[in-house]
Amino acid sequence: MKTVNHYVRPLLTATLIGLSSLAQADIGAAEKPDLKLGFIKLTDMAPLAVAWEQGYFMDEGLFVELEAQANWKVLLDRVITGELDGAHMLAGQPLGASIGYGTQADIITAFSMDLNGNGITVSNDVWEAMKPNLEMEGDHPEHPISASALKPVVEQTRANGERFRMGMVFPVSTHNYELRYWLAAGGLNPGFYAPQRGDTSGTLQADVHLSVTPPPQMPATMEAGTIQGYCVGEPWNQQAVFKGIGVPVITDYEIWPNNPEKVFGVTEAWAEQNPNTHLRLLRALIRAAYWLDENQNANREAAVDILARPSYVGADREVIANSMTGTFEYEKGDVREVPDFNVFFRYHATYPYPSDAIWYLSQMRRWGQIPEAKSDDWYMKTAARVYRGDLYAEAAQSLIEDGLMTTSDFPDFAQENFERPMQGELIDGVPFTPREPNAYINRFSIGLKGSETP
């Protein structure tokens, strides 16, 4: 937890007022300079940690306390109640809340925190059972690994009268949708939600039963045999390798290159009440993301040192460095170059593209969290209401005017900026068509489509 010494605060305030007179002339003083921001202990909270450690929050006249939260539900609830001013969120959380799945609240995001960063890990026993189904390149398997290699293992488990269980971090998490996408692409049904029938387990008709487990608890839960695998962000896949209890079989970069992962979220009411504060937060976070990726990740080693501290992620430095510095270890000793495993700024990672929101909404519909068919127009309007590129553009433009960043660092704000650039093909080859979300949903062989209900 980070706090500012109250004895030095008057001096800092005076200094910051002097600095603000030299720049940021079009942004007024923060309406609420004292802020408490939440995060979960994952490496992709890095922009928050860097903004604090590099002094970017203080440059904006913001006195920020960063506080780790127990889980994603607690984090969201505390943003809604105002105990937190904003937080590191799952990209699907503002959307889920805004459409009333689980909790009803108007949450917006004007900042995408990162791309990629997740993996799917299985226990050692499951890995050994999968190996005969894999194509090999020398001593190591070919990647990406399809869930079709897992299918015989699941079928055998079910034939033994047992459930095959895997963990994910939250019902509207990227991890849930990525794990479901990978399983379905390999011919396994991850099950459906039926909120209209009061069934929010997500396991109707499931071949693989998915359940919620907080990220830091994933390795221990798998080691105890409660789950046979999981999808989570770093450093908790690499932790399984480090501890010798499991094997990451695929990264989300292999499922969908440059997929959106986390966002910074606030309530719509908070943003409306504190517009200057919000813009200043966005400025600090944009600068932090830039620092994380600048000069071909030159600052990543320093970022690893920051994140390894107990007040941030608190995992072993070696574990965090495995992915943050551009490599990823699958089986112990199978270390591969994955320079874009964690992307914080390049490819316009920080801009909240509407297409990101539409992909999440399409998966919510596919698996029954949105139980009825919606028009394409509904998807467009929902994305525009929650993912606020207009606010991002205002913050970015002010950084350009202040000479802190350049026009080339950002998308062309004179354009629509609807669809995220630099994304590759999804693992199953189904083309993502964000302007036609219903056509996209209807292409899948596993999942709800048309007017189907769970």
Mean pLDDT (the chain, rounded) = 93
pLDDT greater than 50 at residue 378 = yes
What local confidence, expressed as pLDDT, does residue 329 receive?
95
Pairing of strands 34-39, 86-90: parallel
* pLDDT grade for 4, boundaries at 50, 70 and 90: very low
Distance CA(47)–CA(344), nearest Å, equals 8
**Contact by Cβ (8 Å): 395, 112:** no
Share of the chain above pLDDT 70, in %: 94
Which SS3 state, helix, strand or coil, does residue 148 take?
helix
Going by C-alpha positions, the residue among 109, 2, 115, 112 that lies closest to residue 55 is 2
pLDDT digits (tens, 9 = 90+) for 116-127: 999 999 999 999
pLDDT greater than 80 at residue 9 = no
Domains of the chain with CATH codes: 9-115+260-324+342-409 (3.40.190.10), 118-258+429-441 (3.40.190.10)
Distance CA(400)–CA(403), nearest Å, equals 5
Going by C-alpha positions, the residue among 261, 259, 264 that lies closest to residue 388 is 264
Q: Which residues contact 296 (CB under 8 A, 6 or more apart)?
A: none
Which SS3 state, helix, strand or coil, does residue 397 take?
helix
What local confidence, expressed as pLDDT, does residue 24 receive?
58
What local confidence, expressed as pLDDT, does residue 26 receive?
82
Write the DSSP assignment of 253-288 as a string of letters: HHHSTT-B-EEEEEEHHHHHH-HHHHHHHHHHHHHH
Tokens (6 digits) for 199: 């069934």
What local confidence, expressed as pLDDT, does residue 74 receive?
96
55-67 burial code (b ≥16 CB/10 A, e <16): ebbbbbbbbbbbb
Which SS3 state, helix, strand or coil, does residue 50 take?
helix
The residue type of 319 is V
pLDDT digits (tens, 9 = 90+) for 238-290: 999 999 999 999 999 999 999 999 999 999 999 999 999 999 999 999 999 99
The residue type of 45 is M
The residues pairing with 177 across neighbouring beta strands, listed in sequence order, are none
Distance CA(394)–CA(442), nearest Å, equals 37
264 C-beta neighbours (distance < 10 Å), count: 26
Q: Which residues contact 447 (CB under 8 A, 6 or more apart)?
A: 184, 366, 367, 441
DSSP structure class, residue 387:
B
Among 36-40, 227-231, 327-331, 342-346, the range scoring the smallest mean pLDDT is: 327-331
pLDDT greater than 50 at residue 18 = no
What local confidence, expressed as pLDDT, does residue 102 receive?
87
Write the DSSP assignment of 404-454 as a string of letters: SS-GGGS--TTS---S-SS----TT-PPP-TTSHHHHHTT-SSS--TT---
Q: Which residues contact 442 (CB under 8 A, 6 or more apart)?
A: 449, 450
Long-range contacts of 244-247 (CB under 8 A, 24+ apart): 244/124, 244/332, 245/123, 245/124, 245/219, 246/121, 246/122, 246/123, 246/124, 246/127, 246/219, 246/222, 247/121, 247/122, 247/124, 247/127, 247/330, 247/331
Tokens (6 digits) for 196: 């209209």
Number of residues assigned to the chain: 454
pLDDT digits (tens, 9 = 90+) for 33-76: 999 999 999 999 999 999 999 999 999 999 999 999 999 999 99
